[in-house]
Amino acid sequence: MAEELGKIEKPEAREFASKRKLYLVPLIFSGKNAPKDYAEKYQRYWRQVSEHVANLEAKLGKIGHVYHESVYQAGQEGLEAIQKLNADSSKIAREKSDGGALIEAVEDRALAEESMDWERFILTGFISQKVAQRVSELYVEALRKRYEHIAGQISETLEADESGLLFIREGHMVQFPEDIEVFSVAPPALDEIHRWHREQMAGAKKDEPEK
């Protein structure tokens, strides 16, 4: 079970000294035309993530490996891929890379693209319930393989007494090895973003015409 940053005190940090540690950051996005109130929460979120990650490093250990969802290249190519995906997670990744951390290839391209294609099919909708069920099964299987690969890559590259940083969307189904201690980075702004999304959905439902 993932630990929350605020619950880690310095004396307790000694317990994790020789263990493999993974700092997990929820990957949040924002478009260029995002509403101002959301954009402010989004920017605040990434500032707080940077601060929380720095606190984790101070308490538990410096980051030696960076993993990022949808990135199947390592090193400089990996950094360039992250930049195209998310400028804010890229900023943190580059900072850690400049400090000596390795940018790892955590994804398998074929598995990632397969799961994304099945997801697109699902989003378009189906007339046939049979087809919908079959596509859903294929999507779940593709996701399972994708997440197994991610867990395997992390396990292969993260050594004892090392710390890694993983950027991945909320709702993922990665099952991390039992000997890896996972610490979730969940700053206050994340709750603000969740609340914003809930309010937008509630407002949209309220505006729907009565049937």
Name which residue leads in pLDDT, 33 or 64: 64
In degrees and rounded to multiples of 5, residue 64 shows phi and psi of -110, -15
Return the CA Rg of the chain. 19
Answer positive or negative: Cα dihedral of 15, 18, 20, 26.
positive
DSSP symbol at 107 = S
Confidence band for 2, pLDDT divided at 50, 70 and 90? low
Structure tokens at 50: 């940077």
- Token representation of residue 10: 């310095």
Gap between the Cα atoms of 56 and 66, Å rounded? 14
CA 172, 1, 25, 94 dihedral sign is negative
| CA 157 – CA 206 distance, rounded (Å) | 49
**Is the pLDDT confidence value at 11 over 80?**
no
CA-to-CA dists, residue 39 to 33, 148, 168, 193, angstroms:
9, 33, 20, 10
Is the pLDDT at 200 greater than 90? The verdict is no
pLDDT for 60-119, tens place per residue? 999 999 999 999 999 999 999 999 999 999 999 999 999 999 999 999 999 999 988 988
